[in-house]
């Protein structure tokens, strides 16, 4: 899923979410709901924008049936502590859309790559 959003502080970012799941298949509809959730909650950290920092952040999330993010791990940092902390802040203890009814596992594990890029 490729997402882009409006300029922030003279720039903006392009965010690519590449989910990889473990467990029952959550389906494209749920991933689209998560993408819509991301659009409502995303931000480019002010300090990273001020310093013109860009990079990829890889997060691993365990999401329970209710959609609550139960665990969050930074799998690979971007090289910018501001981008890493910003990406983690969006998902830490977040309530994503509930898992679809066809998912019988108590939780699913997803890996997201978030690509931050200043638009010039």
pLDDT tens digits for 24-50? 578 888 888 988 898 889 889 999 989
Q: Which helix (H) or strand (E) holds 10?
A: none
| CATH number of the domain to which 96 belongs | 3.30.2420.10
Give the model confidence (pLDDT) of 50-108 as tens digits.
999 999 999 999 999 999 999 999 999 999 999 999 999 999 999 999 999 888 888 88
Which residues does 41 contact at the CB level (< 8 Å), separation at least 6? 90, 94
How far apart CA 46 and CA 73 sit, in angstroms, is 22
What are the angstrom distances between the C-alpha of 23 and each of 7, 62, 63, 104, 120? 37, 11, 11, 9, 40
The answer to whether the CB of 20 falls within 8 A of the CB of 59 is no
What pTM does this model have? 0.79
Instruction: Provide the domain count of the chain.
Output: 1
- Look up the domain containing 10 and give its range: 2-116
């Amino acid at each position: 899923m490729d997402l882009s959003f409006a300029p922030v502080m003279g720039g903006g970012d392009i965010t690519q979410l590449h989910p990889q799941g473990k467990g029952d298949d959550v389906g494209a509809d749920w991933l689209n709901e998560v993408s819509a959730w991301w659009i409502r909650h995303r931000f480019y950290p002010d300090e990273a924008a001020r310093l013109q920092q860009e990079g990829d952040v890889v997060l691993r999330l365990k999401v329970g049936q209710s959609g609550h993010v139960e665990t969050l791990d930074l799998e690979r940092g971007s090289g910018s502590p501001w981008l890493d902390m910003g990406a983690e802040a969006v998902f830490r203890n977040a309530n994503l859309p509930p898992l679809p009814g066809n998912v019988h596992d108590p939780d699913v594990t997803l890996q997201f790559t978030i690509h931050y890029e200043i638009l010039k």
